[in-house]
Structure 1
């Protein structure tokens, strides 16, 4: 049997899992996902469950608070039983299964652990300017880098050698449902990502009241709105958000990979409200989307009296440019890339 391909799935946000499942359709049974909280969320794809690495007092904030840590690491808290067990499980799996390679989406520490365990690493390079020592060392140690976005959305300040080592695969999202030809179309869809958002219930209610002629729907987990106007509908968490995006006439969301890829795939007018993220990830991508004329961008939630004008501007921005930044064959091309690399070590 061919050696497996590992895929480490980070647990913050949902884009990492979506990319893994998109690739699983083409890679097949060789793919094994390693991560926290994957049970029941991967269909038939094999998984290795890892203990949580969150800090009890703050969850996962990407900072460990340690005074003594090598610059090649981002998150390495001392005396954390979950991390000890994670390292042991990943190392044991590598020793037992001898994977042909491991895709790391994303973790500098897991990438370095796999490389120390004599395993080729393909690192998923996210948007933003990641030129800190830890990222650059992970990029150097990796056999290859892949980016889940079009090259036009890369940060202009990314070092040339990092760009040269990167293969760009846009469209790495889970399978999209095709809308029925007679499906009713709604007006405004707000997508709230799993990684946290500036969007809250009172702000949504104020925007809906300021635009009584528009129908607002909200996909994602958000606090209940006690006095929601009649034109505001809370959908809760939606597994197939792509189908909801297809129905919308305007989409509002952050700059995360999942929502951006889904909006570009659907070709809908997009109001991007980038969230504060490490390494300027979403703001960097939003700047490039605006430069490509693929989105209207606001750095903060508009005040109520501005919504009519903002929605009109967004609707008028639909030029079809966004479709050029989305490759519907991205998952198949990325899977072929990974399988070809794995075959070198079959």
Structure 2
């Protein structure tokens, strides 16, 4: 059986976690291709880094001139395709890699992220792909998505391999992912001080500082037990990344979504749809300290069954089966 190649974007940790979880469930052998790869149960091709360049071209997002890293990366991908002859390339995500694979006579399954992606490069990649896979449920699809794009898209749902069970809790869990700028120490101190009756547990990077932390604020940094901390939270506060949304939905936690800046307003689009569905509270920036008591009251008034209804425990299995079927089409 010919293998599936799976290209993984390097921004944040969510792309790699999603790829590794899907690869483990595929019937086909799978090879992950990416920069600074993480842990996976399948073979990995480490790609040269192409960051740091500037420049684009018609139909492309990233095409710097005379960039040695990009040249080597493109050659490595094309060479691997020529040698291995994969049955399918899953691309999560890159317009350029999708078109490169297609030019190498290989069918592409494109992972379509949220946001307003109606620019010519994205539309070209969507049209050239054998199929599109959205790592979120159809319920949070943007209403202005072109009908032909929606028609070609398999909505996999939020993808998480976690089996943690939600439990009652009193603390506020604040999450900052690897793909963003992290939390502001002084803003966190102000928020925790405004709600002293609640313990605030902060996961991820936070700016350094000398100010004394209040007794109800813990800066936990990177932890291996993130999901367990979320499972015991009363309210989760964080961005609109796919990984966090998947865990919050799986746990059915009341959620305050503070979307982080991303290309094509990816996180804003998801946060706005969650708010429209009554599944989360959405704010486009970190709230002022004096607004936190009322904001948390608003969060506690949420019906957690609404965000839980967006979780499909079979999403990874369904997505893997779709990828396998696309490889055999």
Rounded Cα–Cα distance in structure 1 between residues aligned with 2:54 and 2:18: 30
Q: Taking structure 1 as reference, are residues 290 and 95 closer, same or farther at Cα in structure 2, changes over 3 Å only?
A: same
SS at match of 2:90: strand
Asked if structure 2 preserves the Cα contact closer than 8 Å seen for 1:10 and 1:106, the reply is yes
Please report how far the alpha carbon of residue 243 of structure 1 lies from its aligned counterpart in structure 2 after TM superposition.
Answer: 2.3
Q: Encode CA deviations 1:183-222: one digit per residue, 9 max, x unaligned.
A: 7845100010111146311111110111111100111122
Map of 1:281 onto structure 2: 266
Please report how far the alpha carbon of residue 327 of structure 1 lies from its aligned counterpart in structure 2 after TM superposition.
Answer: 1.0
Map of 1:222 onto structure 2: 206
Rounded Cα–Cα distance in structure 2 between residues aligned with 1:201 and 1:135: 37
Please report how far the alpha carbon of residue 13 of structure 1 lies from its aligned counterpart in structure 2 after TM superposition.
Answer: 1.3
Deviates more, 1:149-158 or 1:119-128: 149-158
Map of 1:59 onto structure 2: none
Asked whether 1:331 is paired with 2:316, we answer: yes
Rounded Cα–Cα distance in structure 2 between residues aligned with 1:293 and 1:246: 21
Deviates more, 1:127-136 or 1:198-207: 198-207
Match of 2:196 among 197, 212, 216: 212
Rounded Cα–Cα distance in structure 1 between residues aligned with 2:223 and 2:29: 29
Match of 1:45 among 42, 48, 73: 42
Please report how far the alpha carbon of residue 72 of structure 1 lies from its aligned counterpart in structure 2 after TM superposition.
Answer: 1.2
Asked whether 1:121 is paired with 2:108, we answer: yes
Q: Taking structure 1 as reference, are residues 127 and 263 closer, same or farther at Cα in structure 2, changes over 3 Å only?
A: same
Please report how far the alpha carbon of residue 129 of structure 1 lies from its aligned counterpart in structure 2 after TM superposition.
Answer: 1.0
Please report how far the alpha carbon of residue 305 of structure 1 lies from its aligned counterpart in structure 2 after TM superposition.
Answer: 1.0
Map of 1:192 onto structure 2: 176
Q: Taking structure 1 as reference, are residues 8 and 186 closer, same or farther at Cα in structure 2, changes over 3 Å only?
A: farther
Match of 1:314 among 275, 278, 299: 299
SS at match of 2:26: helix
Rounded Cα–Cα distance in structure 2 between residues aligned with 1:127 and 1:99: 27
Match of 2:185 among 201, 220, 230: 201
Map of 1:249 onto structure 2: 234
Asked whether 1:54 is paired with 2:51, we answer: yes
Rounded Cα–Cα distance in structure 1 between residues aligned with 2:278 and 2:46: 41
SS at match of 1:283: helix
- Alignment of structure 1 residues 108-187 onto 2, 5 Å: 108-173=95-160, 175-179=161-165, 185-187=169-171
SS at match of 2:45: strand
Rounded Cα–Cα distance in structure 2 between residues aligned with 1:48 and 1:28: 20
Asked if structure 2 preserves the Cα contact closer than 8 Å seen for 1:171 and 1:329, the reply is no
What's the TM-score, normalizing by structure 1? 0.91
Rounded Cα–Cα distance in structure 1 between residues aligned with 2:86 and 2:93: 18
Which sections of structure 1, spanning at least 5 residues, go unmatched? 56-63
Asked if structure 2 preserves the Cα contact closer than 8 Å seen for 1:270 and 1:296, the reply is yes
> What's the RMSD between the two structures over aligned residues?
1.7
- Alignment of structure 1 residues 230-309 onto 2, 5 Å: 230-309=215-294
Asked if structure 2 preserves the Cα contact closer than 8 Å seen for 1:111 and 1:123, the reply is yes
Asked if structure 2 preserves the Cα contact closer than 8 Å seen for 1:199 and 1:301, the reply is no
Q: Taking structure 1 as reference, are residues 200 and 311 closer, same or farther at Cα in structure 2, changes over 3 Å only?
A: same
What's the TM-score, normalizing by structure 2? 0.95
Asked if structure 2 preserves the Cα contact closer than 8 Å seen for 1:128 and 1:284, the reply is yes
Rounded Cα–Cα distance in structure 1 between residues aligned with 2:174 and 2:318: 30
Rounded Cα–Cα distance in structure 1 between residues aligned with 2:250 and 2:61: 33
4+ aligned runs moved over 6 Å, structure 1: none
Q: Encode CA deviations 1:108-164: one digit per residue, 9 max, x unaligned.
A: 000010000011100000001100000000000000000000111111111111000
